[in-house]
Structure 1
């Protein structure tokens, strides 16, 4: 008798569980069931492209305030003009120590980024000139397209040219950090004496 009651109780429990599984599985086809750590995919922060009622213009992605500088960014306040180039020539001086380590790194950077056009020794005989591109002037004997001898270029003129580019040379500001540009300037001064 006791065994019979246990079987009835067990049968009732199994029937209730099966019925509840059928009932809950048919309720909502879009439901994925229980959520584990829902804050991992239902975040509170706004996406940059979402509307945002917290700002007057309704945009989440806001333009930085005028005059601010991003973290890690070094400002170069000389415009990409002839006047900016001449002003940089007078006012801008190297900001890194003149050490053998900086010189060696400047040489490596020059060989990687500059020598394809300027040549390993800065004579304007890089690989691209063998494929029909006009050669840049030699650092030791050439004439600058902005006037003057290449061997007389100052720190500011070289840095300005690396930052903004000139003629067929594009800007290297996105490839070389300000410190790396100064190291290249240091090495170019060596090439001016060859």
Structure 2
């Protein structure tokens, strides 16, 4: 009787083990169930403002190496000087086609970024002027602080000004993508004709 019980116990154990193997092996045939170097799959992500012992200065957010260019960055090879402004005036022309779609997009961008100071029609009567800030010159009637009429500004001069700013106007290079700057230039030319 004892031998009979041993056979039943061993048989039941063998069936349970076989069933467990079959049940656990059906999940993912590509996985062995072993994970080599789990820290490569489940790493600790640092927030940019968190301290980080991996770097000498203890900061997570690091300055990129010198000469690094961001993906999609388009360099504007004219310095933020009067000479750069004048050179851009002569050499820089719009890089996008003059289409109704681009003009409409330029109007939206102008309304968003430029109209608070320049006004919706480019007359220099934006909302900030009503709060006591100095008015920028009108695109159709005003005179540029760098000399000449605002209605005669070229593509290069307008693009240079959007990129670097002038007088009270700051740079919009970080807020407006290069292609969108060209759309604004296109719309400003429409306002110069008013």
Query: Same-fold call, TM > 0.5?
Result: yes
Q: Counterparts of 2:63 and 2:190 in 1: how far apart (Å)? A: 45
Instruction: Name the TM-score, length of structure 1 as normaliser.
Output: 0.70
Map of 2:126 onto structure 1: 126
Moved over 4 A (4+): 47-53, 59-63
Q: Counterparts of 2:88 and 2:52 in 1: how far apart (Å)? A: 39
**Partners of 1:69 and 1:75 within 8 A in 2:** no
Q: Counterparts of 1:42 and 1:129 in 2: how far apart (Å)? A: 50
Which segments of 5 or more consecutive residues in structure 1 lack a partner in the other structure? 3-36, 54-58
1:70 is displaced (CA, Å) by: 2.2
**Partners of 1:115 and 1:126 within 8 A in 2:** yes
CA change 1:70–1:41 in 2 (3 A) is closer
User: SS at 2:171's partner residue?
Assistant: coil
Q: Counterparts of 2:183 and 2:113 in 1: how far apart (Å)? A: 12
Map of 1:191 onto structure 2: 191
CA RMSD, 1 decimal: 2.6
Q: Counterparts of 1:191 and 1:163 in 2: how far apart (Å)? A: 19
Which segments of 5 or more consecutive residues in structure 2 lack a partner in the other structure? 3-37
Map of 1:152 onto structure 2: 152
Q: Counterparts of 2:63 and 2:101 in 1: how far apart (Å)? A: 42
Establish whether residue 64 from structure 1 lines up as the match of residue 55 from structure 2: no
Q: Counterparts of 1:187 and 1:62 in 2: how far apart (Å)? A: 36
Q: Tell me how many residue pairs correspond in the alignment.
A: 151
1:49 is displaced (CA, Å) by: 5.2
**Partners of 1:142 and 1:150 within 8 A in 2:** yes
CA change 1:183–1:41 in 2 (3 A) is same
Q: Counterparts of 2:134 and 2:190 in 1: how far apart (Å)? A: 23
Where do residues 68-87 of structure 1 align in structure 2 (5 Å cutoff)?
68-87=68-87
Map of 1:109 onto structure 2: 109
CA change 1:81–1:48 in 2 (3 A) is farther
CA change 1:48–1:99 in 2 (3 A) is farther
CA change 1:62–1:112 in 2 (3 A) is closer
Map of 1:98 onto structure 2: 98
1:174 is displaced (CA, Å) by: 1.0
